[in-house]
Amino acid sequence: MTVATVTPTTAPTGAGAPAPVRETRSDRIVMICNYTALGLFTLAVLYPLVYVLSASLSDPKNVVSGKVWLWPVGLSVEAFKAVFDYDSIVSGFGNSVVYALGGALLATALTLLAAYPLSRKGLPGKGIIMALFVFTMMFSGGLIPTYLVVDRLGLLNTRWAIILPGALAVWNMIITRTFFQSTIPEELVEAAKVDGCTDFGFFWRIVLPLSKPIIAVNLLFYAVAQWNSWFSALIYLTNEHLFPLQLVLRQILIQNNFDPSQVRDTAELIRMKELQEQLKFSLIVIATIPPLLIYPFVQKHFVKGAMVGSLKG
């Protein structure tokens, strides 16, 4: 930050003069540089996404020959139609919806059940229980021992293997606990107790209705994490009918593994061979849409969640 030494030689305003303070020239230059840098950076982030979207909508010939670099050239939605003829993509999409919904519900329930008691003051043993949770963030048994546990429980090749092992994220639990601590005053608990309310009743009738934002954050966070995960499916599942979308995507996009048996119609198959490269672009677009569609609506909540955890955790 050597630039910091470039202080303006002209004092902004006369001493003792109250605001408004006029911007000095160097300040204005800094401001212009800042806006330009932010703009360039934003374009750099945006470009790959725009390119893939344009390529997916273009005529495959134009993509291969490099005519497409920003806007679609020779509009074509063939590749999008082809995606829906590929069986494992369709079943993967369905499986991913199941994993995302089921996983989010289960994980959110566990998170709330852990976070609320641990947010209450004066619960004997709270410190030890909290330490038990936090320790797992710093140390874990590792990949192989976890696999052996899942195997031992007989969960291999079941949907539970995808949902259960990662059901609770300790970080989310800490954020949720902080939310409870800062929004549910201890006096409220005491007042409810005086009125004869039990802990269960208080949690169900008062805490949960007051915690809609944090419940939404948890649901969305877990759903997106589950939607995007693929590694647990890779090691726990061998039955292709249970594969989530991400695992199917990995086969097609990264391993370049195009399985003809997944397409029943032969005429369709020939057409698809031509589209194979194009298929990748449309697949990326389709796989990105569900999380990105909900994202602008929930961005505020995500940001809030991240802030609560960072400032008060």
Partner 1 sequence: MTTDTLVRRTPAHSAARPKRQALGLGARVRRHWQLYAMLALPLIWLAIFAYWPMYGAIIAFKDYNVVDGIFGSRWVGFKHFERFAESYQFWRLIKNTLILHVYELLATFWLPIVLALGLNMARRRWYRRSVQLITYAPHFISTVVVVGLIVVIVDPNSGVLNHFLGLLGIGPIDVLSNPDYFRHLYVWSGAWQTMGFSAIIYLAALTSVSPELHEAAIVDGASRLRRIWHIDLPAIRPVAVILLILNIGSIMSVGFEKVLLLQNTLNLQTSEVIDTYVYKLGFASQVPQFSYAAAIGLFRSVIGLALLVLANTIARRFAKSSLW
d(CA 82, CA 102): 29
Q: Of 72-80, 140-148, 175-183, 259-267, which part binds partner 1 (CB under 8 A)?
A: 140-148
Q: Please state at what angle helix 212-228 crosses helix 170-183, rounded to 10 degrees.
A: 170
Q: Does 235 bind partner 1 (CB under 8 A)?
A: yes
Nearest to 103 by CA among 295, 248, 232, 209: 232
CB nearer partner 1, residue 205 or residue 265: 205
d(CA 150, CA 163): 11
Q: Does 268 bind partner 1 (CB under 8 A)?
A: no
Strand, helix or coil for residue 128: helix
Q: Of 72-80, 210-218, 249-257, 262-270, which part binds partner 1 (CB under 8 A)?
A: 249-257
- Residues in contact with 246: Cβ distance below 8 Å, sequence separation at least 6, in sequence order: 92, 96, 227, 228, 229, 230, 233, 287
Closest approach, Cβ 206 to partner 1, in A, equals 14
d(CA 278, CA 82): 10
CB nearer partner 1, residue 81 or residue 120: 120
Q: Rule CB under 8 A: which of 10-49 touch partner 1?
A: 11-12, 19, 21, 24, 26-27, 30-31, 34-35, 37-39, 41-42, 44-46, 48-49
Quick count: other Cβ atoms within 10 Å of Cβ 99?
Answer: 23
Tokens 């039955």 — which residue?
Answer: 239
Q: Does 136 bind partner 1 (CB under 8 A)?
A: yes
Report how many residues bind partner 1 under the rule CB under 8 A.
111
Q: Rule CB under 8 A: which of 52-81 touch partner 1?
A: 52, 55, 63-64, 66, 68-69
Strand, helix or coil for residue 295: helix
d(CA 313, CA 298): 22
Asked if the peptide bond before residue 12 counts as cis, ω within 30 degrees of 0, the response is: no
Encoded tokens for 133: 């949770």
Among 230, 240, 269, 274, binds partner 1 (CB under 8 A): 230
Closest approach, Cβ 83 to partner 1, in A, equals 13
CB nearer partner 1, residue 141 or residue 265: 141
Closest approach, Cβ 264 to partner 1, in A, equals 25
Encoded tokens for 91: 């079943």
Contact 118, 131 (CB under 8 A): no
Q: Rule CB under 8 A: which of 142-201 touch partner 1?
A: 142-149, 152-153, 164-165, 167-168, 173, 186-187, 189-190, 198-200
Closest approach, Cβ 266 to partner 1, in A, equals 26
CB nearer partner 1, residue 149 or residue 265: 149
Closest approach, Cβ 309 to partner 1, in A, equals 9
Site mask, partner 1, residues 80-119, x = CB under 8 A? ------------------------------xx-xx-xxx-
CA angle 47/76/282 to nearest 5° reads: 50
Q: Does 264 bind partner 1 (CB under 8 A)?
A: no
Closest approach, Cβ 76 to partner 1, in A, equals 15
d(CA 142, CA 249): 26
Nearest to 113 by CA among 21, 224, 207: 207
CB nearer partner 1, residue 135 or residue 265: 135
